[in-house]
Amino acid sequence: MSAKKADANGGAALTRPENQGAAEKATRGTLKYVDDQFGSASFLKRSMDKVFPDHWSFMLGEIALYSFVILLLSGVYLTLFFHASQNVVQYNGSYQPLRGVQMTEAYASTLHISFDVRGGLLMRQIHHWAALIFVTSIVVHMFRVFFTGAFRKPRTINWHIGTILMILGILEGFAGYSLPDDLLSGTGLRIAYSVAESIPVVGTYVCYFLFGGNYPGQDIISRLFIIHVLLVPGILLALISAHMMILWHQKHTDFPGPGKTEDNVIGTKFYPGFFLKTNGFLFMVFGMITALAAFAQINPVWLYGPYNAGQVSAGSQPDWYILFLEGSLRMMPNWETHIWHHTISWNILIPGVILPGIMFNLLALYPNIEAWVTKDKAYHNLLDRPRDVPVRTGLGVMSLTFYMVLVAGGANDILASTFHWSLQATTWVLRVLLIALPPIAFKVTKRFCLGLQHHDEALLHHGVETGIIRRLPSGAYIEVEEPLPAKKAETLAKQIGYDPHHHGDGHAAIAAGDGHEPAPADGHTQTVTRPVGVLAKARTKLEDFWDEPREPVPDTQPHPEN
């Protein structure tokens, strides 16, 4: 667990004396060679000794990193055979039900990869599953960072980079999904075209520039190709490097616990412990994605058929990370305004442009908003547990609920036909839920957090219920409570900032959370800090909303006279 222990383990692996000498010699020789070239031995030494904390949730971002590696490798293989061209050819490959059909070269070459290139279909499926896992793991990693408050100062910039990485991941995925030029992806591009077109004034121009003319045109596949294989991956690579260099420089956060402070990191050294662990994990991610690709078919483009503007299939859905946009479009009422011979398509503009704009901005700027509201300017290297910050956790679950209803809306026809619901009823129920469910989710989550907090405090203050009932001489019955084991109690006390000596009085200080003092009762000071202006008033209101006092736990021992 601790750095020392890791050292001991590492040493234990090299105990055979005859090997030790040789191994040490080899390592030293290599390091000396590198140092002679770069003068970097001290940097390498420091890096090898870098300590990483051990909690499982800190490995979620690694899934994204490793699936990105898989995407690069499998993507290179696919580019060897893919033709990003919309020239029409006649298919003469080995897939019988499409032989003789006119299609674009992009689609024909995708069929070629799927049926006539050795390992082509497996590689396509690895690439596609890895893409889904890539975006999914980014999102799951963000859950961890959000709900533990890891985005707080000094890691706010890294959160911003992470948000951009997620958005770029979504764009990259959509571009890749569009490349085969099959009926499904063409339908998706058609929607993208219309969404861009709905932007007032510039929409038409944006579409013309992007597609090189009217939909579908002759250019979009080759443009998306270069965006997909060069531009976005390049930016992703640069930003992933920045993301990890910042992480390396700032060191990883950790949950509070015995011996853990804002100024130290306790865990496994990079070499050998963390290095071996993370490499093992790399291969497990490879294995999981390859297993999915081997056993579960994804994106069967040969069934969709070539894109044709006159055709559409029931159940045309995008990959999951676009599904929320599909949902917002499907759920939006059909509103339009006509002004001066122009149509403003609110039915597309709001769900397709404005809503995702607001959602992504709120997501990216959340750390700044929270810091502004709580006036928290402190450095945070220790994480919060979700229950200890009920309002943030509530807001997070609220946003996720909103998002999940949108996702369900994107699959409304699949839901309707699977469960034999009315499509209209499904859409209407989801519209109501989109508005009604998030506030309920907020309230329930906050309640859960407060309950868990209460439970933690009770554990520390009262101890564990033993189930042993004892009768007092006075005739009263009490349950015998045992104190928590010392180590557990210390961890818990650190996590919730519990001070046993000031129990009762300490509640106000705990409630104030991130080290900021309760407003002084002194009248003079209050006149000075009274908020002036709308923004300041809003900030004060939000701050009140944010601070959730811990509920006091009543004393345990009943008075004998009871």
Partner 1 sequence: MTKVEPVTPVESAEPARAGRSRRRRIASLGVLVAALGTIATLYAGLAPAASSASNNDPAIQAGRQLFLQGCSTCHGLNAEGGARAPSLIGVGAAAVDFQVGTGRMPAQAHGPEMPRKRPVYDETQIQELATYVASLGAGPAIPTNLDYQSADVAYGGALFRTNCAQCHNFAGSGGALTYGKYAPSLSDATPRQIYEAMITGPENMPVFGDKQITPPEKLAIIDYVKTIKAEPNPGGAGLGRVGPVTETAVSWLVGIGGLVIITMWIGSKA
Q: Minimum Å distance from CB 109 to partner 1?
A: 17
User: Collapsing DSSP states into helix, strand and coil, what is residue 294?
Assistant: helix
Q: Between 19 and 417, name the residue whose CB sits nearer to partner 1.
A: 417
Nearer CB in complex with partner 1: 208/320? 320
- Of residues 279-298, those binding partner 1 (CB under 8 A): 280-281, 284-285, 288-289, 292-298
Q: Which of 150, 168, 184, 433 binds partner 1 (CB under 8 A)?
A: 184
Q: How far apart are the first and last CA of the chain?
A: 48
Neighbours of 87 (CB within 10 A): 11
The 8-class DSSP code of residue 122 comes to H
Determine, following the binding rule CB under 8 A, whether residue 7 of this chain makes contact with partner 1. Answer: no
Q: Which residues of 101-118 are buried (b: 16+ CB within 10 A; e: fewer)?
A: bebbbbbbbbbbbbeebe
H or E stretch covering 32: helix 17-38
Task: For the segment 42-71, give every residue that binds partner 1 (CB under 8 A).
Answer: 54-57, 59-60, 63
Cα torsion 286, 292, 294, 300: sign = negative
Looking at residue 527, the DSSP 8-state letter turns out to be: H
Q: How far is the CB of 7 from partner 1 (least distance, A)?
A: 14
Structure tokens at 512: 């104030």
Q: Which is nearer to partner 1, 6 or 199 (CB)?
A: 6
- Between 93 and 497, whose beta carbon lies closer to partner 1? 93
Question: Is position 315 an interface residue for partner 1 (rule: CB under 8 A)?
Answer: yes
> Looking at residue 265, what DSSP letter applies?
-
Residues 6+ apart with CB under 8 A from 471: 477
CA-CA-CA-CA torsion for 209, 211, 215, 220, nearest 10 degrees?
180
Subset of residues 322 to 351 that bind partner 1, contact rule: CB under 8 A: 323
Is 363 a binding residue for partner 1 by CB under 8 A? The answer is: no
**Does position 78 bind partner 1 by CB under 8 A?**
no
- Interaction with partner 1 in 376-395: which residues (CB under 8 A)? none
Residue window 203-232: x/- pattern of binding to partner 1, with contact defined by CB under 8 A: ------------------------------
Considering only residues 395 through 414, tell me which ones interact with partner 1, judged by CB under 8 A: 411-414
User: Nearest distance from residue 348's CB to partner 1, in Å?
Assistant: 21
Q: Nearer to partner 1 by C-beta: 141 or 461? A: 141
Q: Does 259 bind partner 1 (CB under 8 A)?
A: no
Q: Which residue in the set 99, 443, 447, 455 belongs to the binding site for partner 1 (CB under 8 A)?
A: 99
Considering only residues 418 to 447 of the shown chain, the ones binding partner 1 according to CB under 8 A are: 420-425
Site for partner 1 in 138-167 (CB under 8 A): 140
Single-letter amino acid code for the residue at 292: L
Write the DSSP symbol of residue 140: H
300 vs 485, beta carbon nearer partner 1:
300
Angle at 516 between CA 515 and CA 522, to 5 degrees: 140
Q: In angstroms, give the least distance from the CB of 76 to partner 1.
A: 21
Q: How far is the CB of 372 from partner 1 (least distance, A)?
A: 33
Question: Strand pairing of 342-344 and 337-339?
Answer: antiparallel
Question: Does position 417 bind partner 1 by CB under 8 A?
Answer: yes
Q: Which stretch binds partner 1 (CB under 8 A): 248-256, 318-326, 484-492, 505-513?
A: 318-326
Near partner 1 by CB under 8 A: residue from 23, 312, 432, 440? 312
Q: Which of 40, 218, 290, 317 binds partner 1 (CB under 8 A)?
A: 317
Q: In terms of CB distance, is 15 or 96 closer to partner 1?
A: 96
Residue 290 amino acid letter: T
User: Residues in contact with partner 1, total (CB under 8 A)?
Assistant: 72
**Angle CA 454–455–461, to nearest 5:** 85
CB of 61 to partner 1, least distance (A): 10
Pick from 215, 286, 320, 360 the residue near partner 1 by CB under 8 A. 320
| Complex with partner 1: residue 175 or 199, whichever CB lies closer | 175
**Binders in 104-133 for partner 1, by CB under 8 A:** 114-115, 121, 125, 129, 132-133
Q: Where are the alpha helices (DSSP H) in 375-515?
A: 390-410, 412-419, 423-462, 486-496, 507-511
Cβ 198 to partner 1 shortest distance, Å: 23
Give the integer Cα–Cα distance in Å for 214 and 298: 30
Specify the residue, 186 or 396, whose C-beta has the smaller distance to partner 1.
186
Q: What is the DSSP letter of 432?
A: H
310 binds partner 1 (CB under 8 A): yes
- The dihedral over CA atoms of 320, 324, 326, 332, expressed in degrees to the nearest 10, equals 160
**Rounded to an integer, what distance in angstroms lies between the CA atom of residue 348 and that of residue 215?**
17
Q: Which of 41, 37, 39, 120 is nearest to 78 (CA)?
A: 120
Handedness of CA 415, 418, 420, 423 (dihedral sign): positive
Q: What is the CA radius of gyration of the chain?
A: 29
Rule CB under 8 A: choose which of 22, 314, 486, 521 binds partner 1.
Answer: 314
- CA pair distance 163, 363, nearest whole angstrom: 7
